[in-house]
Amino acid sequence: MAKAKENRIVVVGAGIVGVSTAIWLRRAGKDVTLIDKGAPGQGTSFGNAGLLAASSIVAVTVPGLITKSPKYLFDPNFPLFLRWSYLPRLTPWLIRFLSHANDKDTRRIAVGLAPILGDTVEQHLALARGTRAEKWVVESDVGYAYADRAGFDADAYSWGLRREAGFVPELIEGRAVQEREPCLSSDITLLAVMKNHGYIRDPGQYVADLADEFVEMGGTVLQADVRDFDLASGYVTAVETDKGRFDCENAVLTAGVWSKPLMKKLGLYIPLESERGHHILYKNPSVKPSMPIMITTGKFVATPMAMGLRCAGTVELGGLEAGQSKAPLAFLRKKVKASFPDLKAEGEEEWLGHRPSTTDSLPLIGEIRGTGVYAGFGHQHIGLTAGPKTGRLIADLIDGKRPNIDLSPYDTARFR
């Protein structure tokens, strides 16, 4: 069934970025339809670690990764996994991704990420304040747990970049670690604590509640499979779905890793891959930390959530089609047991999601080739953190307002 012209902006993708964009557009008085093949907040936004990680400006591609990555792949104590059958398809992306593993690019990426991450808590509160979703936003510290001072010192490069951006940790050492967080193993003897961060107690429900608020504001939510954009003289006029054609004056593409085939419809190839991430939810756990904690030896985050303790992390490269893998979940369970030795739970839930990762670890934000279609995807590990800020930037661009930050790092044509 065709939609009337009155819904002039169509947002494709109902995760945190899409829902944020839709709300900010509606607040600007625009007529907005939000379309996703699933329910709002039930895709990648559902299963993340919940962090509002203002200081997560350091890309995975730090200097030295090229020489270390082969070793990591075969190290049973490192959270990197590869489906070898996918390697031929992955190789072009992987070569470009690893090409950024140098100091110059890592610093450039950090400078690009800082403006969309640094005020994340304020952006989430601005989005959710006064709505039913506000109750899920928690202002808190975030901890980085290390076995010892040597482990912390080994990350000196990353901490140096954070310090340059104004993020300086408080260091807690020795027995004081367990005094602060009694549930942590005695093998953890250093905790680097970042102030002025936060987390979401139930990311999936948070986005779903925001979508309900959007509907109450007069917006429209539709479950449909988006197949193409209609362009007239190079400018968007409609979005084609399996439920009909929806006329529009602008469209916004915020479908995460599933944005890639739709970008091809607009004539752009984007080197976008899934960094497959897993989580285990421990229901009614016997212990919880008081704040989200990154366990650095396992590269996972343990977050106290409304439904239990969520332990989320690992990176698996293997595309969109394969199901859950046993190895990342087994690794995660082993590291959780080592870090929280007294943890018991009434039950567990496993989850697999797809982080949309560009080869340069920066998202795409802005108009695509003067088509009237705007991009807001490719956020890799920081989608929840940067979602409200990204949505606000896109809404301002469509509304004719000039953003107060440099958008060139997120240029949608930079891969041409």
pLDDT, tens only, 124-163: 999 999 999 999 999 999 999 999 999 999 999 999 999 9
What is the token pair recorded at 167?
């993020």
- Taking phi over 0 as left and psi of -120 to 50 as alpha, with beta for the rest, 299 belongs to left
Main-chain phi, psi angles of 270, to 5 degrees: -110, 125
Contact between 255 and 105 under an 8 Å Cβ cutoff? The reply is no
Residue 5 confidence (pLDDT): 45
- Terminal-residue alpha carbon distance, the chain: 36
Burial 344-363 (b: 16+ CB within 10 A, else e): eeeeeeebbbbbbbbbbbbb
Q: Decide if pLDDT at 87 tops 60.
A: yes
Report the candidate in 260, 205, 237, 259 with the shortest Cα–Cα distance to residue 13. 259
* Range 85-93 average pLDDT: 95
Determine phi and psi for 176, rounding to 5 degrees. Answer: -65, -25
Beta strands in 233-320 (DSSP E): 235-241, 244-247, 250-253, 272-283, 293-295, 300-305, 308-317
CA separation for the pair 184, 369 (Å, rounded): 50
- The alpha helices in 227-339, defined as continuous H runs, are 259-265, 326-339
Q: Phi, psi at residue 86, to the nearest 5°?
A: -90, -10
pLDDT reported for residue 74: 82
Predicted pLDDT at 75: 83
Residue 85: CB atoms within 10 A of its CB come to 11
pLDDT at residue number 3 = 41
Instruction: Check if the beta carbon of residue 328 is closer than 8 Å to that of residue 352.
Output: no
How confident is the model at residue 1, as a pLDDT? 35
Write out the H or E segment, with its range, that includes residue 348: strand 347-358
Query: Pairing relation of β-strands 347-358 and 364-367?
Result: unpaired
Q: Report strand pairing: 190-200 vs 51-52.
A: antiparallel
Lowest-confidence pick of 7-11, 106-110, 263-267, 359-363: 7-11
State whether residue 168 is helix, strand or coil: coil
294-353 pLDDT per residue, tens: 999 999 999 999 999 999 999 999 999 888 889 999 999 999 999 999 999 999 999 999
Q: What is the mean predicted confidence (pLDDT) over 43-54?
A: 95
User: To which residue do tokens 């012209």 refer?
Assistant: 5
pLDDT, average across residues 11-18: 98
DSSP 378-401: -BTT-HHHHHHHHHHHHHHHHTTP
SS (H, E, C) 185-221: CCCCCEEEEEEEEEEECCHHHHHHHHHHHHHHCCCEE
- What is the dihedral sign for C-alpha 260, 261, 265, 270? positive
Q: Answer whether residue 368 shows pLDDT above 60.
A: yes
Q: Which amino acid is at 196?
A: N
Asked whether residue 67 carries a pLDDT value surpassing 60, the answer given is yes
